[in-house]
Amino acid sequence: MSGMSKIVKTISSIAFPFVMIYGLYIIAHGHLTPGGGFQGGAIVASGAAMILVSYGSVWTMGKVKEKKLSILESTGAIVFIGTAILGLLFAGVFFNNFLFDSNLIFNIVPVKGSTVGILNSAGTLPIMNFAVGLKVVAGLFAIVLVMAYATTKMGGGKK
């Protein structure tokens, strides 16, 4: 598809960093407030879809190769399962939370009840949130990109 007019391109390129920071905030605070990996990843992916619609799929396919999205997605999944297997190796059970109350990062144990949230707590959860967020961004953006590109080729040959 071809892009839209110059006004739309300017406004969407101004709005995109704000959308990305908002999505990253929701991924990073997943263990304190509502949100987490999938929700934040969906927000960043819809920001990227906004760029795709306003600039056109031909321009976007020139800037982003589909192979790099595939590598990003695989990396996210490997980090997630790797953390689970590390729980098996270090502390005895699969998916064990081995960073909770230890001496590495993310180890503060918050008090029970209503607190102001501490970002440095809750063990392996923030790591898994980031892995899932990376995977969701790469996956949803790849889906939207390939569908937009496929509809431009509808009149021509096969994929």
Partner 1 sequence: MNDILSILINHSPALIVAVPLFGAFLTPLVGMINDKIRNIFVIFITLLTGFFTVILVNEVFTNGIKTYCFGAENPSVNPVVRIFFEIDGMSAFMALIAVILPIVAVIYSWGFAKEETGQSKYYTLILLMTAGILGMVLTGDMFNFFVFLEITSISSAALVAFWTNKKNSVQAAFKYIVISSIGALMVLFAVAIFYGQYNALNMAVIANNIGFGFLDKIALVVLIAALTMKAAIAPMHMWLPDAYSGAPSPVTVVIVGTTLASLYGVFRVVFTIYGKQFLTILRSFGDFAVTPSLLIGVFIVVLAVLTIVIGVFMALKSNDFKRMIGYAAVAEIGYMILAVGSAISTYFIPTGTTTVTMAEHGKMALTGGIFHMINDALDIGLLFLVAGAVYYATKETSLNKLGGLSRKMKYTTVFFLIGLFAVSGLPPMNGFASKLIIYQSTYQVNPILAIVAILCSIMLLAVFVKVFHSAFLGPEISSTKNVKEVPKSMLIAMGILAALIIFFGLFPEFVITNIVEPAKNALLNSSEYISAILGGV
Partner 2 sequence: MMTFNIPYIAVIGLILVGLIAVVFKRNLIKIVIGITLIESGVNLFLITLGYRENSIAPIYTSSPGGLMSLPVPQALTLTSIVIGVAVLALMISFIVHIYRHYNTLDASKIRGDEE
Chain residues that interact with partner 2, rule: CB under 8 A? 32-34, 38-39, 113-117, 140, 143, 147, 150-151, 154, 158
- Bridge partners of 134, per DSSP, are none
Secondary structure class of 108 (helix, strand, coil): strand
Smaller CB distance to partner 2: residue 12 or 141?
Answer: 141
In whole angstroms, how far apart are CA 18 and each of 77, 119, 149? 26, 21, 26
When binding is defined by CB under 8 A, the residue of 7, 93, 116, 154 that contacts partner 1 is 93
Binding residues for partner 1 restricted to 18-47, rule: CB under 8 A:
none
Smaller CB distance to partner 2: residue 51 or 132?
Answer: 132
Q: Which residue has the tokens 């598809």?
A: 1
96 part of the interface to partner 1, by CB under 8 A:
yes
In whole angstroms, how far apart are CA 152 and each of 1, 28, 115, 145? 6, 37, 53, 11
Structure tokens at 115: 């607190």
Identify what 102 binds: partner 1, partner 2, none; CB under 5 to 8 Å per kind: none
Length of the chain: 159
**What backbone phi and psi angles, to 5 degrees, belong to 101?**
65, 35
Structure tokens at 149: 């590109």
**Count of residues in contact with partner 1, rule CB under 8 A:** 19
Smaller CB distance to partner 2: residue 11 or 101?
Answer: 101
Exposed, middle or buried by CB within 10 Å (0-12, 13-18, 19+), for 8? middle
Identify what 92 binds: partner 1, partner 2, none; CB under 5 to 8 Å per kind: partner 1
Provide, rounded to whole angstroms, the least separation between the CB of residue 25 and partner 2: 14
Binding site for partner 1 (CB under 8 A): 70-71, 74, 77-78, 81-82, 84-85, 87-88, 92-97, 158-159
